[in-house]
Structure 1
Amino acid sequence: MRRTVTDGFGVRWTVRARQLRGTGTPPPRPGPEEESLRRRLTAALSRLPAPAVAGGTGDWRLPADTADVEMQATFAEFRDTPMRQGTAPWAVGHAVRLVGEAIAHLRTPRSETWEVELVARGRIRRWARWQITGADAAAQALATVAAGVGAGRVPEPWAATLVDVVDQRPPYRPQPVA
């Protein structure tokens, strides 16, 4: 199931629903995490990206963990073995592992969990994902999301859980007028 919709700012969005294998993404914890996802969705659907926020100074570093130091020493000791990264035996071993993972993925049965995804078209990636149980509910959520975006509202499909929001637009920095 797929629909294309244009919002009030002229951005074209694709809304699609697909059935997942396995359980899908774990839902956000109620409270601050859920509210953060809703705020990020509102910002992703807005005309301009969120304004830039001044961050802290980055002139300090945490000391290395002792486990990291020990792991680096172990890797340095075995760096010249035939199975080091980038050698032919290493590549063959990882190719076999990837084939095994692909076969295991295909054997995973489809679940009743559906994912409704809202993706902006264009070169800068923006998307939001909801998860819902059942094909009919997914079709209804798809229609709700498409209608909400087309009307310029933040969509809130009934019984769907917002699990992911990504907005990779650079932060908005207002330019002074000369």
Structure 2
Amino acid sequence: MKTETPTLSTLHAELAALRALPCRLVHERVLMDENGIRRRDGAVESDPGMVRVGLCSKAVRDQQLSCAHTRARNVLDKAIVASATHGLVSAQEAAQLRAELKRIDLAIHMTDWEKNQAEVRYALLAEQGRQDGLPGEQQHVDELVARHGQLSAELGRIHGLLLERCKAVHNPA
């Protein structure tokens, strides 16, 4: 199935709707209260059912390139292809941008998974009163948040490049 290449004005609108803002992957945070880790009903040891902060709304995820649970990076990938078709980037530059996007996409998913695990370890340590392990686990969480911030900046660079080139052709000075 062949898809149509969007017009420049459509491409510009699609790119302008996207954002690359670091969200700190807050959806992975385990919720705790005075009784310890909040758990869903029916939790068992093999699936502790820890309650998390939860995902952002679909409307936010649809625009947020940095989100681990978004399809916005698919939109950006299609925009790279369309940008090459319209001559905004060369075929070689488009291939490089797509490879970079794929690398970033995988890294965001891996960082999200690692943060999931780190947040669980942190919550279990806190619930068990093992204060000695908290600083090290918090440092690990902070490193993952920083990595996500760096990946968001890389996405922002790709997004900004395409948007700038599209604006230059779509709205010439």
TM-score range relative to shorter protein: under 0.3
Q: Which has the larger radius of gyration?
A: 1
Higher RCO (CA-CA < 8 Å; seq separation 6+)? 1
Q: Given the two structures, how large is their TM-score scaled by the length of structure 1? A: 0.22
Greater helix content: 2
Question: Would you tell me which structure has more strand in proportion to its own residues?
Answer: 1
